[in-house]
Structure 1
Amino acid sequence: MKYLLITFFALSISFAQSPKKILKKLGEDPVFFIDSINVEKGDLQRYDPNQISSVTVYKDKEAIALLGEDGKDGVIYIETKVFCKKRYWKYFVSKSSEYNQFVSSYENDMNVQYVLNERVLKEGFEGDLAAIDDVVFKSIKLISKEELIKKYQIEDKDYGFQIISETPKDLYHGNRKF
């Protein structure tokens, strides 16, 4: 129950509403997905809230369009940091042979500094990078250790990648993180 409340607190931050208001709007039996897998409400307790990267809430017509009548009480879609990391790793590998060369698997980016549109990403950025797709993606470029130090004053990473992207159009409607 503790993790469920923390998850709903995260939802309230996403929508600038209290958890009670969100629950009231959702109905009594929303459908939950974690990393694209349908789970029961009780399964949420197994997840550490620090591993949650993004939460998307679908309600009313949007939820019914996704799941039919099963979505009538709403749909809550949760993605973990690892799930998001796998998604952006696959995407960037498909866009850059340099990225594939330097980051051979999603687990191998501990010494990588990501810079998104000149914003140095420090913590909790997995959802931001996972939100990048062909609609908003512009480019990805390797940043050398020397450039990381000179331009960004970052000395604890071996290299970096600068990602240039537009901001998703539905960012402020609660459907995308960035």
Structure 2
Amino acid sequence: MVKLIFLSYLCFLINVALAQDSTSYKLLIRDDLTINASHPLYVIDNAISLKTFQDLNPNDILSVSVLKDKEAETIYGSRATNGALVITTKKYAIDNYQKNFSSHSAKYKKYLDAHHGKDNDCGYVLNGTYITGKDSSEIITKLYEISSEKIRMINFIDNDFRNGNKIKELVIITTKK
């Protein structure tokens, strides 16, 4: 399954590179039973969409999951007979975790409201471990995967200093065991 996701995303990137001057391109998900199949169902940011990869900026995509045949049909019904591409954008993931965390911390919500939803200057600690990643997408993914039901408490601290780097705010997340 991981190889299929990787190959689909690689095909997408190649198609984007090759079709930059073209007005259309398409992605087909195929296996032995769907050689003559048409387009997959696109689920973008948890909603069935008429948009396709052509309508998305690759830099805005956080993750792409490929659901084939029966698996897609079980979740999305007959519209997903030809498979489904489930796409999560960075903006959707950020909005989701911010909403999730804001419901647990009035101080964090107040900070987001004052900064127009931007939390670039915040550092995040999950159960005593500072959240890091090789890039912002990795950090966004880690924050997005924290479900509201698992959060015990969120503390919001102003003016934290870590390793000589000033982080204006620190969000401390404690989850239930």
Corresponding position of 2:70: 61
1:99-155 superposed Cα distances (whole Å, 9 cap, x missing partner): 112222662212211233414235112232222223432332224434x42xxx262
The aligned runs of 1:71-86 (5 Å cut-off) are 71-86=80-95
Q: Structure 2: which 5+ residue stretches go unaligned?
A: 1-5, 13-27
Residue identity over aligned pairs, in percent, reads 26
What is the alpha-carbon distance in structure 1 between the residues aligned to residue 143 and residue 98 of structure 2? 9
Task: State TM-score, norm by structure 1.
Answer: 0.66
Corresponding position of 2:50: 39
Task: Find the structure with the greater CA-based Rg.
Answer: 2
Distance 1:100 1:142, change over 3 A: same
Please state whether the residue corresponding to 1:108 is helix, strand or coil.
Answer: coil
Corresponding position of 2:30: 24
Alignment coverage as a number of residue pairs: 147
CA RMSD for the aligned pairs? 3.2
Q: Structure 1: which 5+ residue stretches go unaligned?
A: 12-21, 168-178
More helix by share: 1
The aligned runs of 1:154-173 (5 Å cut-off) are 155-165=165-175
Alignment of 1:111 with 2:121, yes or no, is yes
More strand by share: 2
Structure 1 residue 83, shift from structure 2 partner: 1.1
Contact preservation (8 Å) 2:105, 2:156:
no
Structure 1 residue 96, shift from structure 2 partner: 1.0
Please state whether the residue corresponding to 1:160 is helix, strand or coil.
Answer: strand
Task: State TM-score, norm by structure 2.
Answer: 0.67
Q: 1:138 aligns with which of 148, 152, 158?
A: 152
Contact preservation (8 Å) 1:142, 1:160:
yes
What is the alpha-carbon distance in structure 2 between the residues aligned to residue 144 and residue 48 of structure 1? 34
What is the alpha-carbon distance in structure 2 between the residues aligned to residue 46 and residue 6 of structure 1? 20
What is the alpha-carbon distance in structure 2 between the residues aligned to residue 109 and residue 7 of structure 1? 32
1:46-89 superposed Cα distances (whole Å, 9 cap, x missing partner): 32222111223323333112221221221111111111111111
Contact preservation (8 Å) 1:10, 1:55:
no
What is the alpha-carbon distance in structure 1 between the residues aligned to residue 149 and residue 100 of structure 2? 13
